[in-house]
Amino acid sequence: METFLLYNRWLHIAAGFTGFFVAPVALLVRKGSRTHRLWGRVFFWSMMVAGTTAIAAASFKGLTFLLLTGIFSLYLAQFGYRSLQHKGLGGGQQPGLYDWGSVLLGLGVFLGTLGYGLLHRPFNLAVVVFGAIGVFVTVRQVRSFRRPGPWPAGQWLRNHISGFVGAYIAAVSAFSATSLPFISFPLNFLWPTLVFVPLLLWLQRHYVPRTGVSPRVLPR
């Protein structure tokens, strides 16, 4: 078991650092370009590996917050990636079984996370914040799946941005909590949210104005 945990740790570190450095590259290059798609896929799979290894380590060591952030980053990464397939939702395309299964599973997990954070003593603000964000994202997605008629213009791209940036926030939060002991609790968990959420909102408004997808985004 110790050997497994050691290899799992090194794989987690490698995937996490790959995601940390690749995400800014995907943000800086032309959206929709071949380069953007390449580094976006690298980031997605890095988050898949980092999240899975985090869940494995947390399950064996009983690290509740690491377990929750691993699940959180996994859900948001797949949410952001899957959103690329949702351009036609509400306009004839219907959410598939995978879409409903993933969003309902995510909603259950995040409701449990929020409840754990509210009921746990001592009170854990970081868990409450992550649980509340997760519930907000999944409830909004359920409502959008049930909405008749076409989605708002460019909604799939807003979801793509929020999913990938959200996964990055969760990964940085886990790194800060475990590797930056000079930052006190709960700021060590929450500073990535405070820093990157304004960036997320700016990206959405920059690339998806009210009129739809910006010309800055190349058609896929």
Report residue 183 as tokens: 């930052």
Q: Is residue 216 part of a domain?
A: no
The token pair that represents 35 in the structure block = 């380069």
Give tens-digit pLDDT for 98-152: 999 999 998 998 898 888 888 877 887 888 888 898 899 899 899 888 877 777 8
**Confidence at 90, pLDDT banded by 50, 70, 90:** low
Residue 101 lies in a domain: yes
Domain of 95, in residue numbers: 2-207
- In angstroms and rounded to an integer, the radius of gyration of the C-alpha atoms of the chain is 17
| Predicted TM-score (pTM) above 0.85 | yes
Question: pLDDT value at position 161?
Answer: 93
pLDDT at 220: 63
In the prediction, which pLDDT does 103 show? 93
Query: Residue 4: what residue type?
Result: F
| DSSP structural state of residue 93 | B
pLDDT of residue 2: 78
Residue 47 to residues 34, 124, 150, 198: CA-CA distances in angstroms?
Answer: 20, 25, 31, 21
Q: Is residue 181 part of a domain?
A: yes
Residue 7 lies in a domain: yes
* pLDDT over 70 (residue 64): yes
Q: Tell me if 165 is assigned to some domain.
A: yes
At residue 212, the pLDDT reads: 73
CA distance 65 to 74: 14
- The residue ranking higher by pLDDT, 47 or 150, is 47
Give the lowest-confidence range in 64-73, 162-171, 210-219: 210-219
What total of structural domains would you count in the chain?
Answer: 1
- Helix%, strand%, coil% for the chain, nearest 5: 75, 0, 25
In a domain, 136, yes or no: yes
pLDDT-derived band at 95, boundaries 50, 70, 90: confident
Residue 135 in any domain: the answer is yes
Q: Is residue 157 in some structural domain?
A: yes
What would the pLDDT profile of 34-43 be if each residue is shown by its tens digit? 999 999 999 9
Give the pLDDT mean for 57-61.
Answer: 82
Q: What are phi and psi of 89, to 5 degrees?
A: -65, 135
Letter string b/e over residues 51-65, b meaning 16 or more CB atoms within 10 A of that residue's CB: bbbbbbbbeeeebeb
